[in-house]
Structure 1
Amino acid sequence: MQKSLSSYVFLSTLIIGTVMSISSNNWLGAWMGLEINLLSFIPLMSNLKNSMSTEASLKYFLVQALASSILLFSIVIMSLSDNILMMSFYDTNLFNLLLNSSLFMKMGVAPFHFWFPEVIEGMNWLMGIILMTWQKLAPMVLLSYCISFFLLNSVILISIFIGSIGGLNQISLRKIMAYSSINHMGWMLSSFLISNYYWLMYFLIYCFLSISIIFLFMKYNIFYINQAFNLMNFSPVLKFIIFCNFLSLGGLPPFTGFFPKWIIIQNLDNYFLITFMVCMTLITLFYYLRVAYSAFLINYSILKWNTLINYNLNYSLILNFFSLFGLFLCMIVYSIF
C-alpha cells in the first residue's frame, strides 16, 4: 500500500514537472520543470530487486544530468549575451546549437541516442511507455521555441537512418520499439518544418499506436520475439492483431499509422528529405514484415514462460481496433477541418 501510494505521488510530480516546463514563460522555469520531471521519474523506474532496472535508472540519470547542465549553461550564457558587447552573432548561434543539442539529448534522438535503447532494455513496459511518449513532450515543446533549422535537418536525417538500420537483427521487442521511437522522432521533428499543428497530430497518433501495442505486451508479459511467436497457442486472432499493429506503427497503408506520414509527405516542400525519409521507412517496414511473416508461419511447440498479468483486455482491443481501422476516420476528420 505504501509503495503504491509513493508511486502515485511520483507520477503526479512527473506530470506537474512536465506541465510546469511547457507552461513556463522563462527558460529557468522550464529547466526547473525538467529537473522536477527527472527526479520524479528515477524512483519510478528503479527497482532494487532488478539489477538491470537499477543500471538503466543510473544511465538515465547521468545522461539527463549532463543534458540539463548543458541546457543551463546555454541559458545562462544567452541571457548574458545582451550585456556582453564583444559577443558576436556567431557566438550566439553556437550557444543556440548547444541549447538545441541538450534538448535532443533529453529526447534521445540520433546522434544523441546512445543511451536510449539500453535504458529501454532495462525497464518494464509501463516505464517504457512513459519514456517513449510522455517524456518526449516537454523537450519537444521547448525545442519549438528555439529551433535551429540547420541542426534540425541533420538530426532528422540521422534519426531516421539510425532508427531504420538499428532495428535490423534485433530480437528484443523493447529495443525494436526503441529504434522505432527514434525513427518516429525524425518524422516528428520534420513536422516542425511545416507547422506545430502537424507535430501535435503526429505525436498524439504515435502515442496512441505505441500504447495500443505495448498494452498487449504487458498483458502477456512479452519481451522477446520468440515469445510473441508462441501467442498462436493463446489465440491466432491476437497474434494477428499484434503484428498488424507493428505494420501500423511502421506506417503501412491502410492502417492508422500511415495517416501522419501521409500528411507530412503532402505538406513538406523538401523533396530530398521526403525521398530519404520514405526510403528509410521502407527499411523499418522490412524488419516489421520479417517479424510478422515469421510469426504467421511459425508455431513453436516449446513452452515459453509467459506469465499473464491481470489487465483488462477489452480496452486493449478497442485501442487496437482504432489502430488498425482508424485511417478512414482520420481521413474524414482531416477533410472536414
Structure 2
Amino acid sequence: MQMNPSKFLFTSCLILGTLITISSNSWLGVWMGLEINLLSFIPLMTNHNNILTTEASLKYFLIQTFASAILLFAIITSYVMSHTTFQFNIEFPYSILIISALLLKMGAAPFHFWFPGTMEGLNWWNCFILMTWQKIAPLILLSYTASFNIFLLCIIMTCTIIGSIGGLNQTSLRKLMAYSSINHLGWMIAALILSDNLWIFYFSMYAFLTASIVFLFNCFQIYHMNQNFLMLTHNPTIKFYLFTSLLSLGGLPPFLGFLPKWLVIQTMAETMSPFLITIMVITTLLTLFYYLRITFSAFLLNYSEVKWNSPLTLNYNLFLKLTTLASISTFGLSLSTLMYFLL
C-alpha cells in the first residue's frame, strides 16, 4: 500500500482512535475513540480505480454508525436510569445492548452479515486491518463488560458454527478469510472470558498468521481459488509456504496455529462445560476441511499453464521474508515445545 501523506495521516488517526478507546476511563471517551477510528478507516478503504471499494466503504460506514448509535443509546439510557457516572458498571439489560453493539462492530456472528461482503470489495492490506486491528478495541471493551452467561455462550457457538459452515462453498479467498476470522472470533471470545492474557496471546498468533498469508496473497495479487493453482505452478516452494500457513491458521498440529487453540482447550476443560469445547473442536475441524480441500488439490494435482502466463520472478529479499514467515508458522510449535522442555 503506497503511503502518501493523506494515508499516513489517516493511518495515524486510526491507531490513535483505538488507543483512545482502550485507554479511556469512561464510556463517552470510548465512543469518541471508536468514532475517530471509524472516520479514519473510511478514507483508507476507498480507491478510485476500484468501484467495489465505494460500496464496501458505504456498507462499513452504515453498519458501524448503527452500532455506535446503539452503543451511545445504551450508555445514555443506563446513565439516566441509574443516576451514576459514565463508568464501566453497566447493569444487565444495558450490558446486553452494549455487548451486541460491540459484536456488531467486530463482525461476530450472528451480526456478521456485513463482514464478508465488505471484505470482498477491499484490497488485501485493508482486509488485514479489518480482520485484526479493527477488532482490538471492541474485544478489549468486551473484556471490561463480559462475563460467562447464556448470551455469550450462544455467541461463541454461533461464531464457530457460522464461521466454519460459511466458508465451505466459497471460491473467493477474501470471503474465505472473512469466515475464518468469524470462526476465530468465537475462540477469542471464549479465551477472553477465561483470561486476558489468553485472548491477547490468541489474538497475537492469529494476527501473525493472517499477516503472513495476506502478505503472500498481496505479493502475487491472488484473490480467487483458481489463481492459487494457475499462478503458483512455477513456484512450488511459494505454494508450499502458502498452504502450510493456511493449515497453520486452521489449527492443524504440529503447526504454530495449534498452540493457542491448545491453550484455550486446556483452560476451558478446567472451567467450562465439555459440550462447548466439543462444538468448538468439531467446527474447527470443518474449517480445516476446506483448508485441506484447497491444499490437497494444489499439491497433488498437476495444472496446465499457458505459455503467455510467464513465471513469476522473486527477488532475494521477498523470498527471504516469505521463508522466514513460513518457517515460523510451520516450526513454531515444535520450537516452543522444545524450548519449554529445555528450560
Q: CA deviation at 1:76?
A: 0.8
> Would the aligned equivalents of 2:146 and 2:193 in 1 still touch at CA under 8 Å?
no
Give the aligned partner of residue 140 of structure 1: 139
Partner of 1:291: 294
Structure 2 CA distance for partners of 1:305 and 1:147, relative to 1, 3 Å: farther
CA contact under 8 A between 1:227 and 1:306: conserved in structure 2?
no
**Structure 1 residue runs of 4 or more that deviate by more than 4 Å after TM superposition:** 303-311, 332-337
Q: 2:283 aligns with which of 271, 280, 288?
A: 280
CA distance in 2, matches of 1:298, 1:52: 33
Cα deviation, 1:249-273, whole Å, max 9, x if unaligned, reads: 0000000000000001111032111
TM-score by length of 2: 0.91
Pair 1:263–1:320, CA change in 2 (3 A): same
The equivalent residue for 1:316 is: 322
Matched, 1:300 2:303: yes
Question: 1:234, CA displacement in angstroms?
Answer: 2.6
State how far apart, in whole Å, the 1-side matches of 2:32 and 2:310 are. Answer: 43
Unaligned runs of 5+ in 1: 85-90
Give the letter aligned to residue 29 of structure 1.
G
Q: Which moved more, 1:7-16 or 1:292-301?
A: 292-301
Match of 2:130 in 1: 131
Distance 1:119 1:227 in 2: 21
State the secondary structure of the residue aligned to 1:317.
Answer: helix
CA distance in 1, matches of 2:166, 2:341: 36
Question: Is 305-314 or 186-195 further displaced after alignment?
Answer: 305-314
Displacement of 1:106 in angstroms is 0.4
Q: Deviation per CA, 1:216-269, whole angstroms, max 9, x where unpaired?
A: 001111001110112443311111111111110000000000000000111103
Pairs aligned (count): 330
Structure 1 residues 143-162: aligned runs within 5 Å: 143-150=142-149, 151-162=151-162
Supply the distance in 1 between the matched residues of 2:122 and 2:185 (Cα, whole angstroms). Answer: 20
Q: 1:83 Cα shift?
A: 2.8
Structure 1 residues 1-337: aligned runs within 5 Å: 4-83=4-83, 92-150=91-149, 151-268=151-268, 269=271, 270-303=273-306, 312-331=318-337
- Contact persistence 1:42–1:61 (CA under 8 A): yes
Q: Answer yes or no: is the 8 Å Cα contact 1:219–1:313 preserved in 2.
A: no
1:88 aligns with none
After superposition, the Cα gap between the structure-2 partners of 1:106 and 1:333, relative to the gap in structure 1 and judged at 3 Å, is farther
Shift in Å, 1:332: 5.2
Distance 1:308 1:159 in 2: 40
- Residue 47 (structure 1) shift: 1.2
After superposition, the Cα gap between the structure-2 partners of 1:300 and 1:40, relative to the gap in structure 1 and judged at 3 Å, is: same
Q: Give the Cα–Cα distance (whole angstroms) in 1 for the partners of residues 288 and 340 of structure 2.
A: 25
2 CA distance for matches of 1:172 and 1:41? 23
Question: Structure 1 residues 10 and 334 mapped into 2: Cα distance closer, same or farther (>3 Å)?
Answer: farther
SS of alignment partner, residue 301 of structure 1 = coil
CA distance in 2, matches of 1:335, 1:11: 42
Instruction: Give the drift of 1:158.
Output: 0.1
Q: 1:243 to 1:77 in 2, by over 3 A?
A: same
Map Cα deviations across residues 195-226 of structure 1 (whole Å, 9 max, x no partner).
Answer: 11100000000000000111000111100111
SS in 2 for 1:113: coil
Aligned-partner residue type, residue 253 of structure 2: P
Alpha-carbon distance between aligned partners in 1 of 2:252 and 2:139, rounded to the nearest angstrom = 25
Separation in structure 2 between the aligned mates of residue 202 and residue 82 of structure 1, nearest angstrom: 36
Distance 1:169 1:5, change over 3 A: same
